Structure 1
Amino acid sequence: MDPITLVVVAVIALFVLTIAVKSVLVIPQAQAAVIERLGRYRTTGAPGLNIMVPFIDKVRARIDLREQVVSFPPQPVITQDNLTVSIDTVVYFQVTEPRSAVYEISNYIVGVEQLTITTLRNLVGGMSLEETLTSRDHINGHLRGVLDEATGRWGLRVARVELKSIDPPPSIQDSMEKQMRADREKRAMILTAEGQRESSIKTAEGQKQSQILAAEGAKQAAILAAEAERQSSILRAQGERAARYLQAQGQAKAIEKVFGAIKDGKPTPEVLAYQYLQTLPQMAQGDANKVWMIPSDYGKALEGFAKMLGAPGDDGVFRYEPPVDTDTRPRPEDDDESVADWFDTAPDPKVAEAVAAAEAVARKEVPGPLNTPPRSVGGASPVPQLEGEQPRSLHQPGDPV
């Protein structure tokens, strides 16, 4: 083959290869291509393999279909109260119509930025500084609605608009910091006062419960003391009654023995005079200032006493004559059954029952919010007592049992 023919074949092959390459267009996923034919819009290429007419069809632009995030620099905005604030915004949008994004606007990113700035100035211009600082959600929602409606003809969908920062002037920032500091101090003082109030209430409640428990303890102690005093008085009275009965019974026996001895001895005036003289020193004993006058004729007095109580004997001496015992009344015996229970050492059932009832009341747990664990006394039921109080027994030393 001659060289000319070889060159022609090579040129034809290169032309065919160029046509083949120009006829195939591969578009990546999440992208779209706007294709023009002879300068006019023909179609929008979808992701994948697309066939084009070489040298006639041309790709005008490739559009990213993913959601895009555009952060705009801070913009000065004047509020309704003539204060300049610096606002930094972020816009999230997505291209839904590649043809409109290419042919309806020259640069849709710049268009979104300028539209955001103008809308933000119009919106913040009708709000005060305090409303601007506290109405982020309202501003974000209003901006999104306006931008989404305005950019719809550009083939865009605004997903979200966020205000990154709202910076007031430095002088306003200082005032706001002072105000915030004052608010924090105010809240701290309020919380401190609330805490002190709660603490005072809790302390008063604790003192109230403590006084209630102390009153209950004093009441129970008074009940036990009264019952113990009552039982002691009863037992003491029983003992005194039995002692007096025994003393009276002993005196009766002694008088009976003396009386019998006198009757058996049949005393004479001489014996009576002797006994009289023996008794005088005993009568004169003591610290009292007593003066005893001894009659000089006491012998005649005794003789008259003997004559009154006695009768003359064979020798003319008056002797004691016991009268005829006509008293048939029964004499008290040592083993009288009517007083046998006076000497019973067993406690009175009524007294024991009263003491048991008082102890049951004392052992009863006093209800209250202080949940003091009960402590037992001598293996018996627990007795409530105050926190910090020393354990006390139901029976104090010296109380009667």
Structure 2
Amino acid sequence: SAGLNIVTPFVDRVRYIIDLREQVVSFPPQPVITEDNLVVSIDTVIYFQVTNPVAATYEIANYIQAIEQLTMTTLRNIIGGITLEQALTSRDDINQSLRGVLDEATGRWGIRVNRVELKGIDPPPSIKDSMEKQMRADRDKRAAILTAEGMRQSQILTAEGQKQSAILTAEGDREALILRAQGDRQSRILRAQGEGQAILTVFQSIHDGSPDQALLAYQYLQMLPKIAEGDANKVWIVPSEIGRALEGLGSTIGSIQGIPADTSGPRNRVDYGEPVDATMPVTASSGEASLSSAHEDVAEAIRSAEEAATPSAGVPAPTSAPDAGEQALRTEPPPTPPAPPQQ
């Protein structure tokens, strides 16, 4: 018993000194076969305490060896009923089963097993490689799943963003089109109003000016250079009213210059020279010389045209009577210039 004891010399002697504290015993690795016929090496650690020194001394010769053998047999029995994967993932269940069996067996020896731990479970190298590959594949699978989930979430968020962006862009385009249409409408209205006012102003000006055919012919002559611009072929349609207006305009110019208008013969353009200032004195000889020179130029132009119209060289062209216009230009005497103003 624990405590102070009296030993009688030569009668009593101390047989064993037993430590009543909790003890830790680590057993060497033992090969164990699992349910799926795999040999694994298992290390165990046992925490026990001697509760009855008399029973631990006289009930069993070597309680540590007995605990070791009992632990190995119980461990083989438990591991043989489970697979390797269960053995690796169910250590707590194995510890509880070992403790229950050992505590029941060592109770009559005066020993109490407090805890049993599996320090290590080592499968064969081939199984380790397979487990490593499986572990790597499982991790790759989880990584792929996580990556796919991330991509899915990213695509969803991107699609949502594009949707919102498209909606905002469409709304902006709609507002811009509405504003642009309103601006175009206002611009066309203002342009139409301006054109209407311009037409009214021009019409009023024309009405107030009382234009005649000569003015219209003059405006037509001013527009001819603009019509003739460009290299494309053009077809001009000249109204008959314009022709009559040009005839009237030619008659007016001829009467101003002192040359009678001839509507029956061909029209020939006559260069009347530079305009004469009415305030400058003009002598009769200079006016007559200018008119004579003009008549000579016209006659020379007519002769050149007749020579150009000759069919071929060496064949005389048939002579024709001069028309009324040419006869008028050749026979009509020049008008008498006005007398110079008195100084």
Q: What secondary structure is seen at the aligned counterpart in 2 of 1:62?
A: coil
Q: What secondary structure is seen at the aligned counterpart in 2 of 1:60?
A: coil
Q: What secondary structure is seen at the aligned counterpart in 2 of 1:177?
A: helix
TM-score relative to the length of structure 1: 0.49
| 1:68 shift after superposition | 0.4
Aligned counterparts, 1:349-388, within 5 A: none
> In 2, Cα distance between the equivalents of 1:102 and 1:89?
25
Does residue 184 (structure 1) correspond to residue 136 (structure 2)? The answer is yes
Over alpha carbons, which structure has the higher Rg? 2
TM-score relative to the length of structure 2: 0.57
Return 61-70 or 224-233, whichever deviates more: 224-233
Please name the residue that 2:182 is paired with. Answer: 230
> In 2, Cα distance between the equivalents of 1:278 and 1:76?
133
> In 1, Cα distance between the equivalents of 2:174 and 2:48?
87
Cα shift readout 1:152-204 (whole Å, capped 9, x = no counterpart) = 11111101111222334x4xx31441243144135314522541453254135
Instruction: Summarize the Cα distance change of 1:116–1:235 in structure 2 as closer, same or farther, 3 Å threshold.
Output: same
Amino acid at match of 1:162: E
> In 2, Cα distance between the equivalents of 1:81 and 1:277?
123
Instruction: Calculate percent identity across the aligned residue pairs.
Output: 42
> In 1, Cα distance between the equivalents of 2:89 and 2:177?
73
Please name the residue that 1:59 is paired with. Answer: 14
Q: Over aligned residue pairs, what C-alpha RMSD do you find?
A: 3.3
Please name the residue that 1:289 is paired with. Answer: 237
Please name the residue that 1:328 is paired with. Answer: none
Does residue 219 (structure 1) correspond to residue 171 (structure 2)? The answer is yes
Please name the residue that 2:119 is paired with. Answer: 164
Does residue 73 (structure 1) correspond to residue 28 (structure 2)? The answer is yes
Please name the residue that 1:125 is paired with. Answer: 80
Amino acid at match of 2:130: K
Please name the residue that 1:329 is paired with. Answer: none
Cα shift readout 1:369-396 (whole Å, capped 9, x = no counterpart) = xxxxxxxxxxxxxxxxxxxxxxxxxxxx
Q: What secondary structure is seen at the aligned counterpart in 1 of 2:47?
A: strand
Cα shift readout 1:56-95 (whole Å, capped 9, x = no counterpart) = 4433332211110111122233444554433222111011
| 1:277 shift after superposition | 7.0
Cα shift readout 1:87-136 (whole Å, capped 9, x = no counterpart) = 22211101112222122212211221122122223333334444444432
> In 2, Cα distance between the equivalents of 1:108 and 1:278?
148
> In 2, Cα distance between the equivalents of 1:50 and 1:59?
10
> In 2, Cα distance between the equivalents of 1:220 and 1:209?
16
| 1:137 shift after superposition | 2.2
Return 77-86 or 117-126, whichever deviates more: 77-86
Q: What secondary structure is seen at the aligned counterpart in 1 of 2:43?
A: strand
Amino acid at match of 2:2: G
Amino acid at match of 1:203: Q
Q: What secondary structure is seen at the aligned counterpart in 2 of 1:162?
A: strand
| 1:151 shift after superposition | 0.8
Please name the residue that 1:240 is paired with. Answer: 192
| Structure 2: tracts of 5 or more residues without a match | 225-235, 249-343
Return 151-160 or 218-227, whichever deviates more: 218-227
Instruction: Summarize the Cα distance change of 1:280–1:125 in structure 2 as closer, same or farther, 3 Å threshold.
Output: closer
> In 1, Cα distance between the equivalents of 2:12 and 2:213?
174
Amino acid at match of 1:145: G
Instruction: Summarize the Cα distance change of 1:123–1:279 in structure 2 as closer, same or farther, 3 Å threshold.
Output: closer
> In 2, Cα distance between the equivalents of 1:151 and 1:120?
16
> In 1, Cα distance between the equivalents of 2:121 and 2:216?
128
Does residue 105 (structure 1) correspond to residue 60 (structure 2)? The answer is yes
Amino acid at match of 2:143: L
Q: What secondary structure is seen at the aligned counterpart in 1 of 2:237?
A: coil
> In 2, Cα distance between the equivalents of 1:97 and 1:59?
16
> In 2, Cα distance between the equivalents of 1:278 and 1:241?
32
| 1:226 shift after superposition | 2.4
Q: What secondary structure is seen at the aligned counterpart in 2 of 1:105?
A: coil
Q: What secondary structure is seen at the aligned counterpart in 2 of 1:116?
A: helix
Q: What secondary structure is seen at the aligned counterpart in 2 of 1:89?
A: strand
Amino acid at match of 2:18: I
Cα shift readout 1:235-291 (whole Å, capped 9, x = no counterpart) = 441353155236525644663x557xxxxxxxxxxxxxxx86744743763554324
Please name the residue that 1:203 is paired with. Answer: 155
Please name the residue that 2:2 is paired with. Answer: 45
Q: What secondary structure is seen at the aligned counterpart in 1 of 2:48?
A: strand
Instruction: Summarize the Cα distance change of 1:102–1:283 in structure 2 as closer, same or farther, 3 Å threshold.
Output: closer
Amino acid at match of 1:289: I
**Paired residues, what number?**
232
Higher helix share: 2
Higher strand share: 1
